[in-house]
Every structure is written in structure tokens, then in C-alpha cells.
Amino acid sequence: MAVSRSFVVLVLFLLTLGQSAFVLAAPSVQQTSECPTYQVNLAVDLVDATPSSVSPGSTVTIRVHIIYPDGTPVTLSPETLSFLFVGTAGQNQFSNVPVQFTGTAGFYTYSQQLSDDIVQQLGQGQVNVSVLTCSASDGGGNRGPPGDVSSDYTLTPSDNSTFSIGPGPTTGPQGLTLNYIVLGIVAALLLLALLLFLMRSRKKKKT
């Protein structure tokens, strides 16, 4: 009887230990990825912004390439992504915006016009673009990327997810006009000085 009781106690102890181990292990499995996935995390291996320099009111286009871990191109479903623009003065997030399939597997583009309010939020100067965590989906339960991705973290060395916001389009012509005015004044002064020199030379010859 004593042996039976000891056996039962041992079995209960092992069951309790096993449940405790499962409870402790379960959170660690969930924390291995920042994205809830069905099988795999989708990866972004290219983030490229064009043109490299833009002015307020113009449009910047972001091209991305999305793949599975084995390199197979992903077909987005839905065809949406989320982007984060970080500038010198602040940032702006564009969540679940429609992207355009380029016709090449895995490649999509997103175009954003830099309105005055967006430029005011970002500030002039360099802006860095990232694809946000878990914003890509293949419709089968797989999502990605597992973290925010810019060109600093992609596998493609030639991409560049930064662009620069320069002054507005009216600044250039005004600066150019000012330069012409200054050059005109200098030329007029030189011409006046030359005329005065010639007049003095003639007076000296007459005397």
C-alpha cells in the first residue's frame, strides 16, 4: 500500500512538473518573433526611395521587395503596407496604404506626395523611410517584416531609403533673379568707371 501511495505521489509530481515546464516554455515560444505568423515571417530585402532630392509639393516613390526566408517572392494579400517617414523635425506614419505591383514578382511601389503639412511635420533635409513591422501579409497567415526595415537593414547594398527635402520651387528662380541683379549692378558700375576714365583721358590730351 505504501508503495502504491509513493507511486501515485511520484506520478502527480511529474505531471505537475510537466505542466509547469509547459507554462514556462510557452511564453518563450511566442516571444521568438515580433510578428504573429502561421509558418514563416516575411522579409523585406529592398527599400529604395526616388528621387534622392525632392521639393515640397512633389512626389517621392518607395520601391520594396518582399520575400520568404528562402528567397521566394511574396504576393501581398492585401496589397497594402505601412511606412514610417522620419525627418529632421519629426515623423509621419502612413498605415495600411495601397501599394502597386510592378509586374515583377515581389516588387511593389508606393508614391507619396509631399504636401505642405507633411513637409512641416518632417522638416527640410534628410528623410529616412522604413517599412513597418508586420505590415506585409500574404493572405495565408504569414506576416512580416519582424521589425522595422529601412535600407540600413536590407540584404541589398545598392538600395537607399533616404531622400532629401529641399527648398520650394519658388526659391530657385528668386535666387537666380537676385544673382542677375547683382551682376547687372556690378557691370553698370564698371562701365561707369570706364566712361569716367575715358573722359578724363580726353581732357588731359586736350590740355
Question: For residue 41, what pLDDT is reported?
Answer: 93
CA distance 113 to 171: 19
Question: For residue 172, what pLDDT is reported?
Answer: 44
Residue 54 banded pLDDT, cuts 50, 70, 90: very high
Question: For residue 181, what pLDDT is reported?
Answer: 74
Does residue 37 have a pLDDT over 90?
A: no
CA distance 83 to 80: 10
Between residues 7 and 187, which one has the greater pLDDT? 187
Do residues 35 and 133 make contact, with C-beta atoms less than 8 angstroms apart?
yes
HSE-up of 118 (CA within 13 Å, CB side)? 19
CA distance 109 to 148: 17
For β-strands 136-137 and 59-67, DSSP reports them as: unpaired
Question: For residue 22, what pLDDT is reported?
Answer: 31
Percent of the chain residues past pLDDT 90, beyond the cut? 60
Question: For residue 2, what pLDDT is reported?
Answer: 46
pLDDT tens by residue, 140-163? 999 999 999 999 999 999 999 999
| Mean pLDDT of the 157-174 span | 76
Question: For residue 189, what pLDDT is reported?
Answer: 82
Between residues 192 and 75, which one has the greater pLDDT? 75
Peptide bond into 69 cis (omega under 30): no
C-alpha cell at 203: 581732357
Q: Which residues contact 66 (CB under 8 A, 6 or more apart)?
A: 42, 43, 44, 45, 73, 74, 76, 106, 108, 136, 144
- Just give the CATH number of 43-165: 2.60.40.1930
Residue 20 banded pLDDT, cuts 50, 70, 90: very low
| Mean pLDDT of the 75-99 span | 97
The model's pTM is 0.66
CA distance 132 to 92: 12
Does residue 165 have a pLDDT over 50?
A: yes
Three-state SS across 132-180? CCCCEECCCCCEECCCCECHHHCCCCCCCCEEEECCCCCHHHHHHHHHH
User: In this structure, what are the phi and psi dihedrals at residue 158, rounded to the nearest 5 degrees?
Assistant: -90, -10
The whole-chain average pLDDT of the chain stands at 81
The secondary element (H helix, E strand) that includes residue 94 is: strand 91-98
CA nearest neighbour of 53 among 170, 165, 171: 165
